[in-house]
Amino acid sequence: MNQLYAGITTFADGRPVYRAVSPSFARMLGYEPEELVGTPAETHVDETPGVLDGWRADVLRDRHQSAVTTLIHRNGTRFAYAYEVIEIHSGDGPIYLFIGKPHESHEGLLTKHDVARIAQVSVRTVERWLASGALPAVRIPAGRRVRLAELEVFLARG
């Protein structure tokens, strides 16, 4: 996937707020652009310890730095997103342009919590599926992940 313009944010009460959002970025999160305008940009950043704090540090302090964070789709699935924040000065104060794309190393891979939410079962059930080999998974440094396509086939089989 090519780099894509994600959105423009300004700061309100010390927090980044979407002022404009590209259709492609909104779709990637499962929304229409107008649903995101005016909302805090951090709303869709994973709140796992360290992820949201790291994102805040990147955005609030290191605005010219490239980084990778975990975003959350409307359906609850998480995906890695590589981005860069560019600060632009205007007469009304600074605005921030986000440019990025899904990070390939984890694109389309689901955690056991994502699988449980999508399949509407407990995490323990997903762990049993994985342990038995009924649901195929790939190993990454952070553990096992399930490809969305394989989950769809698994669920279709019943």
pLDDT in tens, 7-23: 555 555 566 788 888 88
102 - beta bridge partners?
81
Contact 83, 69 (CB under 8 A): yes
Q: How many domains does the chain have?
A: 2
Do 113 and 101 share a domain, yes or no? no
Q: What are phi and psi of 82, to 5 degrees?
A: -95, 130
Q: How far apart are CA 4 and CA 119, in angstroms?
A: 30
Do 58 and 71 share a domain, yes or no? yes
Output the pLDDT for position 141. Answer: 58
Model pTM score: 0.56
Do 72 and 89 share a domain, yes or no? yes
* Residue of 105 and 100 predicted with greater confidence: 100
Q: What range defines the domain where residue 16 resides? A: 4-106
Percent residues over pLDDT 70 in the chain: 69
CATH number of residue 127's parent domain: 1.10.1660.10
Do 97 and 117 share a domain, yes or no? no
Do 9 and 72 share a domain, yes or no? yes
Q: How far apart are CA 87 and CA 98, in angstroms?
A: 9
Output the pLDDT for position 2. Answer: 42
Nearest to 55 by CA among 64, 68, 43, 37: 68
Do 121 and 71 share a domain, yes or no? no
Output the pLDDT for position 5. Answer: 54
CATH number of residue 82's parent domain: 3.30.450.20
Do 78 and 144 share a domain, yes or no? no
Do 11 and 87 share a domain, yes or no? yes
Contact 130, 137 (CB under 8 A): yes
